[in-house]
Copies of this chain bind each other. A is one copy, B any other.
Amino acid sequence: MAMKSLVVEDMKVTALKESAFVKPLSLEFRQNGKRRKWDMIKVHDSVTIIIFNITRQKLICVKQFRPAVYFSSIPEDDRKSGIIDTTKYPPSIGITLEFCAGIVDKNKSLAETAREEVLEECGYDVPVERFEKFKTARAGVSTEGTRSNFFYVEVTDDMKVNQGGGLVDEGEVIEVVELSISDAQQYVEAVDNISPAGFSFGLVWFLMKKGTKTP
């Protein structure tokens, strides 16, 4: 799952300082009379968008380098020093295949947030009323518990207004990839996916509900 050009180097592990994205905390409470403590992080809710291009009959997905996936793919013995050998572990082990997605951190509706992500990451300019929310699930039930909102949207070639790729200023390097219905079926059948379980859910949901639709 190579990306066109991706170089990752000089990686080290440091202590988390004040973060806009990851806020660790503990909850202390009494459950049925017993004291409990639960460690977690406060993060943002998210939107995930299944984009189906009905002109091309392709699912529009994204590949990107996910630092957390990269780190978690490295055996403990090779990361405990705090220095990661990026020549031993190529960045490809941290490249995921996902639906277009983003966090909900602006004062906008979920559908509007979804609309913006589709434009930024995939380059399609889609009217907000075309976004259909079909599932709200919970992400990281153990450590996060936030809402993960799944949308479905159909696009056409003439809505494509730019190349997508994410916000370069924010360090996003996103590659837009197209999956045929047969690609999607094969990906669901494969045992090992460098993708969230929500991606598999979305693919299976799409195949059941929409996969036979024609333009």
**Which residues of A come within 8 Å of B, CB atoms?**
5-17, 19, 21-22, 24-34, 36, 38-43, 45, 65-73, 84, 86, 94, 96, 98, 103, 133-148, 150, 171, 173, 188, 191-201, 204-205, 208
CB–CB B12/A28 < 8 A: yes
CB–CB A13/B25 < 8 A: yes
Task: From A10, A11, A145, A147, name the one whose CB has the most chain B CB atoms within 10 angstroms.
Answer: A145
- Known contacts: A145-B69, A197-B148. The answer to whether A11 contacts B40 by CB under 8 A is no
- Known contacts: A196-B141, A201-B197, A208-B208. The answer to whether A24 contacts B6 by CB under 8 A is no
Shortest C-beta distance, A96 to chain B (Å), equals 5
Q: Which B residues are in CB contact (< 8 Å) with A200?
A: 135, 137, 201, 205
Bound state CA distance, A51 and B191, in angstroms?
A: 18
CB–CB B204/A208 < 8 A: yes
CB–CB A31/B19 < 8 A: no
Nearest residue, chain B, Cβ from A45: B72
Q: Which B residues are in CB contact (< 8 Å) with A146?
A: 72
Bound state CA distance, A29 and B8, in angstroms?
A: 7
CB–CB A145/B66 < 8 A: yes
